Amino acid sequence: MNALPITKQTAQAPLLVSASAIAKDLSVTARYVHLLAEQGKIPVVRFGRRCIRFSKPDVFRALGIDTEAAPGASL
């Protein structure tokens, strides 16, 4: 099996993040991120009734934010 070394796996950005992380990137409140999710304007991954996470690339794409345009922008 061709497994990556642990250092490479942990160096990558997380696949799913909290509403707070999305809110920080968008300069809005976490409540507003939850509101966007409730309205179906951004994609959400649900783990049960209360635990939800977001994929930054998917959220930015849904909102029409081009992350490639800004040099040095990271997800």
Residue 58 pLDDT exceeds 90: yes
Task: Give CA separation, 54 vs 4, 11, 13, 50, in Å.
Answer: 25, 19, 13, 13
Which residues lie closer than 8 Å to 54 by C-beta, 6 or more apart? 16, 17, 18, 19, 21, 22, 33, 37, 42, 43, 44, 45
pLDDT in tens, 12-53: 777 999 999 999 999 999 999 999 999 999 999 999 989 999
Q: Indicate yes or no: pTM above 0.75.
A: no
User: Quick one: pLDDT at residue 66?
Assistant: 83
Instruction: Please state, in angstroms and rounded to a whole number, the distance separating the CA atoms of residues 69 and 71.
Output: 6
CA-to-CA distance for 9 and 27, rounded, in angstroms?
28
